[in-house]
């Protein structure tokens, strides 16, 4: 599945370079028009991120996201600063299809286990943003990617799998926003190691060939942000590549 993505800072669509808030590019987008077009073209779900909320949950752009949910009928998965049952309930009640959980995976694991049980595995996506070292340790980063945890991607998936974990959004931070290609080896490895997980790959997609290469890794979905905003290819082309694998 192709999942177009939009990230927001202070109400404006942006893309960060390798997760660096000081290195961002702004985009003048009519989001309502984009969402209408994507639904018409066959997109099944959109990924939205509150980057202000991801860095500091007190600065979440609630007004913006409530407004988006009020005017669109295309399914949305929403992340960024969502760290409580109240947050999850609010967005689900407003019509969000899936809730993306980030920092709480590390900071509040017991609660996240409860959320998987309460809301079901289809409603919760764990966002595993990884910094990969020279030993191939996939260390999870949190709080807007500013802090490295001491926990790896594999440890997180093994911890939450008994509680119904199904959807994992995995981002190689070193690739994010670069358009230089995704970490194909990473997605090959994790999709083979955890065949029960529906992985969403994110970071670095810049060409249609990148989509074709990711399709072959057996991941379930591809998150695409900057390359669509900068018209490196059209959404129809991306959907066709994913469907046909060529």
The structure tokens listed for 243 are 């469907």
Q: How far is C-alpha 148 from the geometric centre of its chain's CA atoms?
A: 18
Q: Check if 7 is active-site.
A: yes
Contact (Cβ atoms closer than 8 angstroms) between residue 114 and residue 89 = no
Q: Check if 210 is active-site.
A: no
CB neighbour class for 64 (10 Å; exposed up to 12, middle 13-18, buried from 19) = middle
Residue 133: C-alpha distances to residues 20, 70, 130 (Å): 18, 42, 9
The structure tokens listed for 77 are 């998965």
Among the listed residues 50, 52, 129, 172, the single catalytic one is 129
SS (H, E, C) 1-16: CEEEEEEEECCEEEEE
123-135 burial string, b = 16+ CB within 10 Å, else e?
A: bbbbbbbbbbeee
Residue 5: C-alpha distances to residues 57, 84, 134, 136, 167 (Å): 20, 23, 29, 27, 16
Residues with a catalytic annotation lie at 7, 129
């Amino acid at each position: 599945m192709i999942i177009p993505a939009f990230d927001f800072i202070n109400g404006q669509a942006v893309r960060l370079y390798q997760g660096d808030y000081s290195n961002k590019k702004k985009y003048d987008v009519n989001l309502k028009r984009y969402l209408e077009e994507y639904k018409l073209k066959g997109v099944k779900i959109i990924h939205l991120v509150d980057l202000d909320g991801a860095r500091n949950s007190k600065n979440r752009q609630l007004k913006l996201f409530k407004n988006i949910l009020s005017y669109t009928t295309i399914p949305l998965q929403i992340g960024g600063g969502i760290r409580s049952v109240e947050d999850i309930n609010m967005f689900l009640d407003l019509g969000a299809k899936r809730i993306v959980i980030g920092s709480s995976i590390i900071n509040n694991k017991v609660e996240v286990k409860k959320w998987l049980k309460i809301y079901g595995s289809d409603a919760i996506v764990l966002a595993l943003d990884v910094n990969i070292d020279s030993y191939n340790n996939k260390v999870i980063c949190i709080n807007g990617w500013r802090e490295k945890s001491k926990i790896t991607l594999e440890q997180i998936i093994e911890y939450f799998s008994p509680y119904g974990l199904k959807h994992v959004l995995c981002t190689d931070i070193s690739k994010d926003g670069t358009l230089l290609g995704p970490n194909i080896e990473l997605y090959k490895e994790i999709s083979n190691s955890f065949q029960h997980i529906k992985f969403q790959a994110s970071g670095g997609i810049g060409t249609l060939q990148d989509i074709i290469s990711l399709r072959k890794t057996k991941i379930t979905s591809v998150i695409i942000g900057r390359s669509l905003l900068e018209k490196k290819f059209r959404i129809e082309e991306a959907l066709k590549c994913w469907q046909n694998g060529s």
